[in-house]
Amino acid sequence: MDATLGLPILVILIAVALLFDFLNGLHDAANSIATIVSTRVLRPQYAVFWAAFFNFIAFMVFGLHVANTIGTGIIEPEVVDVTVIFAALVGAIVWNVITWALGIPSSSSHALIGGLIGGGMAKAGISAAVWSGLSKTLLAIVLSPLIGFLLALVLVAIVSWLSVRSTPFAVDRAFRTLQFVSASLYSLGHGGNDAQKTMGIIGVLLYSQGRLGEEFHIPFWVVLACQAAMAMGTLMGGWRIVRTMGLRITKLTPMQGFCAETGGAATLFMATFLGVPVSTTHTITGAIVGVGAARRMSAVRWNVASSIVYAWVITIPAAAAVAAVTYWVVLALR
């Protein structure tokens, strides 16, 4: 560990981490607002304020289990130094910018995890990985969209049965109101899970510099800074990805939007309380596909959904590769 790092460099690295958090909010804004925008319950400019507010206050609801997993459960803390953190952030940011420019809703979470893996293994090889935490995260890649899919599918069935005697107009009006609740819950889950990933990165950086004492923990100022950075990113929006998530996968009604958001929120709440860093992108996409499939299988544009899956598969190795190259370049320039 490089415990003698100067304060200016440390501040710059924390700023880079907060930039990633900002881009995370920008990139994943669609996860919070795609359904409420596509059902025309809220205009985009109002939806981003709604989502940003609940992104910010998420720290009041959840603990810091995910932050601790990222800080100590992906790469051995003893391996982490300034170069590893810098490489991890560059790998995640580069991949986020590429997929944002192409309008592909890839996972910022897994880009960051890929960056950590790439930077850590470039330094110390395979032994750098904490396989217990990493395997839990990799399992969540499969389970989070599947759980979101199943919960949304079940919710559509329950809601349809409960609404069978109501007129379409009454159902539409009721769920336009209820979507405010479901969108709030999803934004809360998004802020709770995703912002904690950057908290973990900053926390392990401070720990590697001997600035947290003997025990790893997340200082409160780091919590506030990360929640604020994500909220600001959400305010800036991510309209390219909103279009993919809200309009191109399947056409949504307010009732279906409510079911997708509620199913996704329930998945995020469970994962966050368990300390599992899941992808909000994977989760909401699985839920949207679930409500589309509940109507009929042909209602889902499977070619769009499959292209998103391809992006998921390559996110971790792509970000890891960029991070590893960055690590080696930095070492060569020293």
Chain position carrying tokens 């997929």 = 99
Residue 225 has pLDDT above 90, yes or no: yes
Higher pLDDT, 160 or 297: 160
Looking at residues 152-173, what average pLDDT do you find?
87
CA angle 20, 238, 258 (to 5 degrees): 110
Higher pLDDT, 192 or 27: 192
How do residues 228-286 score in pLDDT, each as one tens digit? 998 888 877 655 555 555 455 456 788 888 898 899 999 999 998 888 888 777 788 78
Looking at residues 88-107, what average pLDDT do you find?
81
Chain position carrying tokens 């899941």 = 278
Residue 5 has pLDDT above 80, yes or no: no
Cα–Cα distance for residue pair 259/106, rounded to 1 Å: 22
Rounded to two decimals, what is the model's pTM?
0.79
Of the candidates 144, 185, 207, the one whose C-alpha atom is nearest the C-alpha of residue 14 is 207
Q: For position 1, what pLDDT does the model report?
A: 43
Q: For position 121, what pLDDT does the model report?
A: 94
Tell me, what amino acid is at 254? P
Sign of CA dihedral 242, 20, 267, 50: negative
Q: For position 3, what pLDDT does the model report?
A: 46
Q: For position 300, what pLDDT does the model report?
A: 55
Report yes or no: 180 and 49 within 8 Å, Cβ to Cβ: no
The DSSP string of 251-317 is: ---HHHHHHHHHHHHHHHHHHHHHT----HHHHHHHHHHHHHHHH-GGGS-HHHHHHHHHHHHHHHH
